[in-house]
Structure 1
Amino acid sequence: MDASALDSASFYDIVAAFAPPGLERQARVLLAEAEAALTRIDTQIKALTVARDFQRGRIAALKYAMSPVRLLPSDVLAEIFLDTIDVSRNLQYSSAPLSNLGLTPVLRLASVCAHWRQLALCDPRMWRGDIRLNVANVSATYCEIAGLMLQRSSPHPLDLTLGVKDHRYKPPAFSMEVLSAVLGCAQRWKSLRIETNVLHLLKAPLPRLERLERVFVEIVSRSTDPTTSLLLDAPLLAHARITLNHLEKIPLPWTQLVELVLTNGDNTSSILNILSECTALRTLELNIIAWDNDAGVLLNPFVICNLHQLSVNFMQPDSGDGTTAPFFANLTSPVLQQLKVTFEFLDNGPLDPEFISFLRRSPQLQSLSITECDMDSAFLSTILLNTPSLESLQLACCFHCLGQEFFQRLTYTNGATNSFPAAPRLREIYLESCRGDFREENVMDMVLSRWWTDAQLTALPAPPLVARWNDISISTVDGMQKTDEFKAWISSRCEEGLKLYIH
């Protein structure tokens, strides 16, 4: 009978009834032998484990001894480490907590062996570089690593970014320990990027920011925020990119800036006052709201003597009708070389007569770009007559300015007593997504009047009063149909060396 067919009590009853005499005495002897055998086996296993680990250590040591990296001096190995770290820091930050510090490469290198760990810990260059700190991470481990990293990077300059991972659903709770560590190394800031509003927490007395060269502020401030003097005492600060709706909350040493990118969506009235202090600027990019037409033009002229590049993007005011007159009426930039004007209006933005006066005060202007501007051909013709140094002209989405008058104005007639050459140094024209009433003959006349092959140019008895075309690109939204004769003419000019594209 199968024992599984019996209940548990019946099974043990039968075993007890038929157990041979002396079974318990024999079982105790067998149990003792089995336990002794197990003890001997455990002892052998421990000995084998020790022997195995010893052999593993030997193998690792022999492999390291055979590795070429063993022969590298410590200084060379350190340079390799630095290259590895620099490449890794250029990669996108992952979501791992420590990777937000840019520390992952350093920690990995320091985990290989005692020699590498000592090398990484003793070289401050391993801990410098572009460091992004999550100022809303209150984890004790994160705060400790952040402080340790800032400490180990001494005495090297720091490129810091203060941000948060995600606070779309609720305001972040900032880590005062991280911010304290950041303020503690303020003397070593080389560049500072602020991506979250911590202005109300940056009030501690700070030392002179002797190394700070660049600052980036991109936050939404509040009218209740205190004004911070965080960046005022920074003698080397020359480059600033500010996106802020209350510019007065974080004043800068405006007079020493050489590059400024400024985005302001609220207080346009303060823009001109700030710019009047930026006397050392060489590059200026503005994203500002245009003035209301009813505001009038308040004259408060100022000069930026060294301004070479100017880009202005005008956004539409709440009233819907805007003007650029206050800006161009007050600014003078005598050595300006590049100018870009863009309108983000529902309807194409206007240019006012003050713009022409501004051009007259910028006689060295070489490159002009205008996008989405509601000007007519007469206004554009006036622009050409007031830009004697212009070499490159770009118009995009300017739907009412192109016509026969534009091409005729740029058609040079050599020797004509009543012909005053407009934009005599103009070499490049880029007309993108434009609309206008002109014919193929207008384009051909304009091109041929300022185009000579190398041989033709050499054979001229005297140099022409206008520059030779280099690049002409015309793209219209009207779907201009080119005749076969015009296509052949374009091909001929391209074969002669002119870059000519008409679509």
Structure 2
Amino acid sequence: MSNLESTLFNRSLTIERLFRATLSPSQHNTVSQFLKDAETEMRSHQIQIDKLRSQIALLENKKTNLSENIARYRSLLSPIHKLPPEVLGNVFSFACEENSFHIHPVLTPPPLSLSSVCGRWREIALTMPSLWSSMNIRFQRGWTKGGLYRQLYHLVLLFLDRSKSSPLDIVLNFKCRLIHADAIPTLAALVSHSPRWQRLVLEDIPEECLRHEVFRTLGRHRMAMLTHLESSHNGYDDTVWDDYQCHLFHDCPSLTSLKVANSGPLDHGANLPWRQIKKLEIVNAYEIDGLDLLSRCSNVEQITLERVSGMSEDGVEDEGDGEFSHIYHPISKITILAVEEDDVTCILKHSTLHELSSLEIQGADDDWDEWDASQEVIADFLHRSSCHLTTLALSKLPISDSQTISLLYLLPTLTTLSIEERTGDICTNQVFTSSFLNRLSSVTRMTTHPFLPELAHVKFTLHADELDIGVLSRALTARWVPDTQYALELGIACIQTIDIVFIEDEDEEYVENLWSSLGWMASAGARLTVSALDDCDE
């Protein structure tokens, strides 16, 4: 036993004996010395503990810092850091195509979110003015509380500053009938940058807003960059625009695209550069209004008509105030979005379009079940126009297989054909019957007038129920004639693109069967796609 251990042992025995006796003065001094020695030793131990704790804390801090560094190092090795700034900038552009400003509840616009991720992303975002050039603003009642309009104003100023000289894409949605005084600074800031406007959308705008002084100053600005203008009326009063003539957009030398919805301010005598318009879209208008608007755009090349017809809300035909102007414009493409037969015939019975090359008619899965009048009007239109139609798309229409065959015989120059069957309560094919498919496959040397001789690209969206996969396969393979000389003998073109879509997503078995029958065409050079429609695609 060492001297220290012996001393501690003797001290412990002495203390144990003293707990059983009365302390004498000498013993009291002994215990006092023991106490001082113990306190001195405890202080020495505490000093050592504090030193060790200090070392532990230092090591913990070093460990934390190393953990952060490890995370940063691993982050730098992640795939996204391998992307060049140009590629990352393109990704940002997709994320910031439409920057919606939601002040209440707060929803941060994408450019602000991206620029707050890290220093590199912030630097890229700030060096791309185009990310900040899109603003979708909805003015709502109740924003006067809590200074929400002030927040909107400062946010708009930030985007205007960071967009620098980039063309602006502005969407203004008015959910209030009157412009509140607190919204004026925001609108004034936007109007002051109107020479940079490239696309302007005025949604649900009431007359009182457009007549406001803050908009009136637009007429004094030359909007040289504006290429697309769009307006819609919120329907507070159907006749509110009758005595209003818009002169705000008369000086727009680049304006070529126009969309008018719900009898807005741009279709009642508006002072616009009508002859510049190349692309026109009219939504929800009576026949007389839609054709009057179309007649002004004498150089239009592409038109889209959605629910434009001569039927009033109660189903009574609107006779108008006089005869319609017949349309002879150089239109090359027509898209018709119809919910009733009259929507289809509206433009076609009042026009002669020699340059038309593309016609698309989209229907709806509603109670519309008449097509005879449309068939007759389309036939008359094609005969009258003598146009060389190369693209035809028919979607969800109440057209039969025989009517489709008759229509397609009128289109010998057709190269691209897209047909989509109706859905809803109808789960069988009305067009893609054996009769239609057999006609599609009837290509022989003995045919005087081949059916669709120039057809090269098809997209068929159909039901699997009662479909004969073998007949469909033969109809498509019959048009695979890569031998140029043989194709000339048959008088048909070789099919190049085939896109077959089954409407019901549970038709995977049909997808596999058709692919096993046609897959060789893909190997031979055709562009072949066979798929089933997902619920989210409908």
> How high is the TM-score relative to the length of structure 2?
0.60
Q: Secondary structure at the match of 2:455?
A: coil
Aligned residues: 401
Cα distance in structure 1, aligned partners of 2:309 and 2:286: 11
Cα distance in structure 2, aligned partners of 1:260 and 1:99: 33
Cα distance in structure 2, aligned partners of 1:296 and 1:134: 35
Task: Confirm or deny: 8 A CA contact 2:307 2:337 kept in the other structure.
Answer: yes
Pairing 1:193–2:201 present: yes
Question: Which position in structure 1 is the counterpart of 2:450?
Answer: 421
Cα distance in structure 2, aligned partners of 1:445 and 1:101: 53
Change (3 A) 1:230 1:99: farther
State the Cα deviation string for residues 392-444 of structure 1 (Å, max 9, x = none): 2122125433434423433344331x531121111233332359988567546
Task: Confirm or deny: 8 A CA contact 1:282 1:308 kept in the other structure.
Answer: yes
For residue 222 of structure 2, the aligned residue among 208, 227, 230 is: 208
Question: Which position in structure 1 is the counterpart of 2:500?
Answer: 473
Pairing 1:357–2:380 present: yes
For residue 286 of structure 1, the aligned residue among 293, 298, 305 is: 305
Cα distance in structure 2, aligned partners of 1:445 and 1:83: 48
Question: Which position in structure 2 is the counterpart of 1:311?
Answer: 335
Cα distance in structure 2, aligned partners of 1:486 and 1:178: 58
Alignment of 1:63-462 (within 5 A): 89=96, 93=100, 95=102, 104=112, 129-133=133-137, 135=139, 139=147, 141-142=150-151, 145=154, 156=165, 158-163=167-172, 173=180, 175-197=183-205, 198-201=209-212, 202-204=215-217, 205-221=219-235, 222=237, 223-225=239-241, 226-246=244-264, 248-249=267-268, 251=270, 252-264=272-284, 266-292=285-311, 295=317, 300-305=325-330, 307-316=331-340, 322=342, 324-344=344-364, 345-348=366-369, 350=371, 351-360=374-383, 361=385, 363-397=387-421, 399-416=429-446, 419-434=448-463, 442-443=471-472, 446-452=475-481, 454=482, 457=483, 460=486
In structure 2, the gaps of 5 or more residues are: 1-84, 423-428, 533-538
Task: Confirm or deny: 8 A CA contact 1:161 1:195 kept in the other structure.
Answer: no
In structure 1, the gaps of 5 or more residues are: 1-78
1:102 Cα deviation after fit: 8.4
1:497 Cα deviation after fit: 5.0
Cα distance in structure 2, aligned partners of 1:85 and 1:239: 27
Q: Secondary structure at the match of 1:304?
A: coil
Question: Which position in structure 2 is the counterpart of 1:17?
Answer: none
Task: Confirm or deny: 8 A CA contact 1:395 1:432 kept in the other structure.
Answer: yes
Cα distance in structure 2, aligned partners of 1:172 and 1:144: 14
Structure 1 counterpart of 2:262, which letter?
A: L
Q: Secondary structure at the match of 1:384?
A: helix
1:341 Cα deviation after fit: 0.2
Structure 1 counterpart of 2:240, which letter?
A: T
State the Cα deviation string for residues 161-181 of structure 1 (Å, max 9, x = none): 3535976xx977362233333
Q: Secondary structure at the match of 1:276?
A: helix
Cα distance in structure 2, aligned partners of 1:488 and 1:95: 51
Task: Confirm or deny: 8 A CA contact 2:170 2:197 kept in the other structure.
Answer: no
Task: Confirm or deny: 8 A CA contact 2:99 2:109 kept in the other structure.
Answer: no
Once superposed, what is the RMSD of the aligned Cα atoms?
4.9
Task: Confirm or deny: 8 A CA contact 2:286 2:310 kept in the other structure.
Answer: no
Q: Secondary structure at the match of 2:246?
A: coil
Q: Secondary structure at the match of 1:187?
A: helix
Percent of aligned pairs with the same residue? 13
Question: Which position in structure 2 is the counterpart of 1:63?
Answer: none
